Chains A and B, each alone.
Chain A
Amino acid sequence: MMACLLEAPLRISVLSEVTATSRHYVDRLFDPDPQNVLQGVIDMKNAVIGNNRQKANLIVLGAVPRLLYLLQQSSSSLELRTECAVVLGSLAMGTENNIKSLVDCHIIPALLQGLLCSDLIFIEACLRCLRTVFISPVTPVQLLYTDPTVIPHLMSLLSRSQHTQEYITQIFAHCCKTPEHQTVLFNHGAIQNIAPLLISPSFKVRMQALKCFSVLAYENAQVSMTLVNVLVDGEQLSQVFVRMMQRDKPIEMQLTAAKCLTYMCRAGAIRTDDNCIVLKTLPCLVRMCSKERLLEERVEGAETLAYLMEPDIELQRIASVTDHLVSMLADYFKYPSSVSAITDIKRLDHDLKHAHELRQAAFKLYASLGSNDEDIRKKITETENMMDRIVSGLSESSIKVRLAAVRCLHSLSRSVQQLRTSFHDHAVWKPLMKLLQNAPDEVLVMASSTLCNLLLEFSPSKEPILESGVIELLCSLTQSDSPALRVNGIWALMNMAFQADQKVKVEIVRALGTEQLFRLLSDPDTNVLMKTLGLLRNLLSTRPHIDQVMSSHGKQIMQAVTLILEGEHSIEVKEQTLCILANIADGNTAKELIMTNDDMLQKIKYYMGHSNVKLQLAATFCISNLIWNEEDGSQERQDKLRDMGFVDILHKLTQASDPNLCDRAKTAMQQYLA
């Protein structure tokens, strides 16, 4: 209703400007003589070409419904219907508001209906208009899929002419936005129907067909797997794409073909060591990042390249030495350049528009490049002002840039050397902590993951971070709905607790609260469970700490341990739990919590005879701690355990094939001999 209110005065003001001629054009559409109507539409066509004001006028004066009526009337001559479609197409070429008006008048169903006509010229006019409407960002894509008969009919029209091919593939390329869309198009034979168009004599058709494949294959294994087996004129599709990446082809074509191959590769349809990836796609994408390319192309090139090599260290290594990529990317941060600001307003505007995009693309690519190889990370951090750029990127207004910057930082934080040096020198923890205060989950996941690395024991940033009140923050993360955030929160706490002061440990337990701790121990996510156990293990290290923690929380901890050992858990989880038990067994007073718990001792016995060596080892460790000679009451414990049959088991384990286990058992046996 608000919209209507606002529209009314606007309409009047526009109306007042409408010239008599505009009205005349519309009036002629209502002429009783069809011949006059036709002439009127033709005159209207000539009047609106390239004239946005005239287009707006005609729309305001209600030309669209009338044109649509004439277009749909079966009594209209084919020529009239065609001219109507042409005029509507022309109106659609105007502003976004024009498109909105046309869509509001239900132009899409009307034109789709028109496609059922047999006349090719009319069909082409309808398709041209539909194309213009659908490629506009204001048109809801879903309108293409509401009528299930539309897609198959469009597929059948692909054979009619080069024009139908161009318009239909362009519509598909713009309207395939979700996996569901991909599936619909795939199920209606998009691949078989569009593949031959890749060798069409028309460049536009080839280009649009190629774009179709890039949107169809994106993160879609089904499409990608099908594509690799498609032959076009006896040639494999991947080879057709390779040819389209030749350096004399238009950049748009090279880039889109590289995208197709990238998506096919990421979907598992092409191996990462295939020549078409290593020797063709990757170098092509690196070229797209060069200074000679347009800013848009550089953004797309960098993003696609980042995506291509993300999971593959070999591709990362190759890219890192190709065409000075690492230093080439540094140029992405130089927009708007100081030259453009002074000399050329247009250029400045253009640069500003793309500056964010460029920066985030560069960060993404750096993140991808540095995700595995230490040498590459070193090369990246040594790039001019790199750390400063990341630091300022972390606090940029654009969320995209912040996310990409933190991804980059995360990637680099996997390097021990960088943590020790550049990370500390540039105090990256400061903006990182700031970022963690109030950010969307996406950013939080990356930032907290990075924080985990910064909290590693050898990281010099650990201390200042602790002092900045990070514990509360991390504890709150463990209560998140997102498993990734819970993992990161508890992981960071685990890292923090590793060889920490008593004070820190107490603070962690206090801030987290035992309730939350035990809730995390029953977390459905195994990762969360593992890291929580890891935290417990770190808390329960060095004897005084063990006794202290166990004296206050012994009961709950023992309960939790029993629960896990009895439950259905993976070997790793049980191993971690047995390690906790071994740590408890190392305490002075804490020992008794085990010794007085026969049920627990039976469990340890069971695991000493388990088929998995890791569990045997952990359980043996635990026993070994319990019977250790130099401690008070060791004699009683030894006796009790001998009575329970542990000596026999230990004796058997000294014959074990695993050398570690064998050693551990022998050490334990010596306690009895001493």
Chain B
Amino acid sequence: VHIFSQSHLCLVMYQVLKEAVCGLIAVSWLASRPIRIKQARNLSSSSPVVSDSARFSHWTLIESCPAKDSWQAVGIGGRNRIAMSGPSSGCGFLMSVVVHGDLALNEQEKELNQRLKRLYPAVNEQETPLPRSWSPKDKFSYIGLSQNNLRVHYKGHGKTPKDAASVRATHPIPAACGVYYFEVKIISKGRDGYMGIGLSAQGVNMNRLPGWDKHSYGYHGDDGHSFCSSGTGQPYGPTFTTGDVIGCCVNLINNTCFYTKNGHSLGIAFTDLPPNLYPTVGLQTPGEVVDANFGQHPFVFDIEDYMREWRTKIQAQIDRFPIGEREGEWQAMIQKMVASYLVHHSYCATAEAFAKSTDQAVHEELASIKNRQKIQKLVLSGRMGEAIETTQQLYPSLLERNQDLLFMLKVRQFIEMVNGTDSEVRCLGGRSPKSQDCYPGSPRLFNSPVHKASSSQTYQTGTAEVEMELDHFSNGVSESSSNGFLNGSSTHGIDLEECDGDMGEIIIWRQLCGGSQAAIERMIQFGRELQSMSEHLRRERGKNSANKKMLKDAFSLLAYSDPWSSPVGYQLDSIQREPVCSTLNSAILETHNLPKQPPLALSVGQAAQCLSLMARTGSGSCAFASVDDYLH
């Protein structure tokens, strides 16, 4: 019942997510303004904004998306980051192989890791490592291992069943595999071919063939019978012998197991399997030799095709999760989530349009939203000095009470100075202060397109997002971003490179503090102030390792002639503004007794938590319900 309720909860979560995300896209029609949701992952583990509920992500909604190409670029960048952020797997074993110095083995190891990652993406190997070989510790003495603990041979007398011997894999099968598979090739059937292939729980007697004891399951070569925790077998499949490849597939969703012979499925052998079973083989007569394939080589059976079927099944289950009678309630909740998300990130025009069309009240004053929006825009455009100033004006006591936050903002300001984007150095850098006129926070700019578009044809049809982008409402916001200034958050990295090619001006911009001597001096002076603030903070409030590291990293930028391409250069990336922005926004909201995380982000976090909980409690369907699949 417990597990059921978790899966159930997860299904609900997904339904919410799916519709909420759809809702957000729908908003873009209402507001007639392309909106994208982007899940930005923080590369730096020291990111100070990580909160409990949504540890893994930070959300940004981009209004007025720039050209389509650059959006895609962001999409790709995002995926790359996800791939990079995966846990490094199986290091222990990997190391031992590398020590051997065998290049071919190293290649095999690489292939193994790649295949396991592809087959079982939902498995967190730091928590539940995958089986990669037989365990030299968890075996009976009559078993010999060779070839990197993948080959098993029998070295007992083999006179009676009392001489049977088994070996287990190094780790049990993680539930988060969803569907797990390994193959065993019979190298030699030996004297009598009494080989058993199967599964067993930890602690099951190893002086036996798999299947003979409680929590032990096997398929035996001599008679083709299956043994389900019993000394007597049931007719199951064909016999197997030298040259045959026998596969064993555990379905952790319905807790069944089937075998394959030479790539052909033999049908269900066991049902109601307990959790945490280990791949196991047993041998009983001299000369018996078998090789395991835990993913080192391509499998003979097309297991990925089987997995595809189950992924489709699980996803259909999520899609068809019944709402029942509560449809009205449901819709209202979804709308609230969407609205609160928009308000949280202060997309006031969109929020307003959405609230209007869905008949909702906005729980925050419009002015307040706009204030937050103004500050956010400043942070995201790298104009930290102004952002701090504005915050202090609008929320006088906020930063005073929250010195750590202030420190973080100032460190960011220092980084932006190095970048040449902070307002103080920009003025000194001889760049036109008029660029400030392009500052997009003005309500006029935001309202006008909404008004204009609501009467347009595209709104009526609302078929494709592409059509929306064709709208000519460019409000100056996206145009002003030509220097990567405003939309830096969405076009970081790649955008910069594009600009490099387009405008010579940018080359100057990538010089330290925008290339101005005065600016550099101001930056150095600011650095000193920061240093003293840090010392002050430490005296007042004791050591803070996060703060210390932050400052150290920031100052490290000055140690390189080209900070942008230095090892600490990532700090200059405009994506690093996002966590700062989010933390500041949350802090402001908290002072207004509003949640520091929007419910939508909370439910994403909750769904992710739910998945990892399912993995821990043995619900295999978590393998095929990745949160990412539901975020566009």
Contact = CB atoms under 8 A, between A and B. Distances in A.
A321 B312 contact: no
B264 A246 contact: no
A496 B308 CA distance: 57
B76 interface: no
B267 A323 contact: yes
A247 interface: yes
Contacts of B266: 321-324
Main secondary structure of the interface of A (DSSP, over half): helix
18 contacts: A247-B305, A247-B306, A247-B308, A248-B308, A248-B311, A248-B312, A279-B263, A279-B302, A321-B238, A321-B261, A321-B264, A322-B264, A322-B266, A323-B258, A323-B266, A324-B266, A324-B267, A328-B267
B201 to A, nearest CB: 26
Interface of A: 246-248, 279-280, 283, 318, 321-324, 328
B196 interface: no
A318 B238 CA distance: 10
Given A247-B308, A283-B264, A318-B264, 4 more contacts: A247-B309, A321-B261, A322-B265, A323-B258
Contacts of A324: 266-268
Interface of B: 237-238, 258, 261, 263-268, 302, 305-306, 308-309, 311-312
Nearest to B224: A321
Nearest to A286: B265
Nearest to A318: B264
Contacts of B311: 248
B309 A283 contact: no
Nearest to A375: B238
A302 B306 CA distance: 21
A318 B305 CA distance: 19
Contacts of A248: 308-309, 311-312
Query: What are the 5 tightest A-B residue pairs by CB atom distance, in nearest-first order?
Result: A247-B309, A324-B267, A248-B308, A323-B267, A248-B312
Nearest to B238: A321
Given A321-B237, A321-B238, A283 B308 contact: no
A323 B306 contact: no
A324 B238 CA distance: 11
A133 B309 CA distance: 36
Contacts of B263: 279
A181 to B, nearest CB: 35
A279 B302 CA distance: 9
A321 B265 CA distance: 8
Contact of A283 (B237, B261, B265): B265
A318 B302 CA distance: 16
Given A279-B302, A283-B264, A322-B267, A246 B238 contact: no
Nearest to B306: A247
A246 B311 CA distance: 12
A322 B258 CA distance: 11
A308 to B, nearest CB: 15
A324 B261 CA distance: 13
Nearest to A282: B264
Q: Which among A246, A247, A279, A283 has the greatest number of chain B C-beta atoms within 10 A?
A: A247
B265 A323 contact: yes
A318 B311 CA distance: 27
A327 to B, nearest CB: 9
B298 to A, nearest CB: 13
A246 B258 CA distance: 19
Contacts of B258: 323
A502 B305 CA distance: 65
A323 B258 CA distance: 9
B305 A246 contact: yes
A246 B308 contact: yes
A621 to B, nearest CB: 46
Nearest to B309: A247
B613 to A, nearest CB: 27
Contacts of A279: 263-264, 302
B149 to A, nearest CB: 30
A279 B300 CA distance: 9
Contacts of B302: 279-280
A242 to B, nearest CB: 10
A318 B263 CA distance: 10
Nearest to B315: A248
A148 B284 CA distance: 73
Nearest to B312: A248
Contacts of B264: 279, 283, 318, 321-322
A101 B470 CA distance: 50
Contacts of A321: 237-238, 261, 264, 266
A458 B314 CA distance: 57
Contacts of B238: 321
A534 to B, nearest CB: 38
A246 B309 CA distance: 8
A322 B312 CA distance: 23
Contacts of B267: 322-324, 328
A607 to B, nearest CB: 50
B269 to A, nearest CB: 10
Nearest to B300: A279
Contacts of A280: 302
A250 to B, nearest CB: 10
A279 B265 CA distance: 10
Q: Which among B261, B264, B308 has the greatest number of chain A C-beta atoms within 10 A?
A: B264
A280 B301 CA distance: 10
Nearest to A322: B264
A489 B342 CA distance: 86
A50 to B, nearest CB: 25
B50 to A, nearest CB: 36
Nearest to B268: A324
Contacts of B305: 246-247
A657 B261 CA distance: 48
A237 B258 CA distance: 32
B301 to A, nearest CB: 8
Q: Which among A279, A318, A321 has the greatest number of chain B C-beta atoms within 10 A?
A: A321
A323 B236 CA distance: 10
Contacts of A246: 305, 308
A247 B258 CA distance: 17
B224 to A, nearest CB: 9
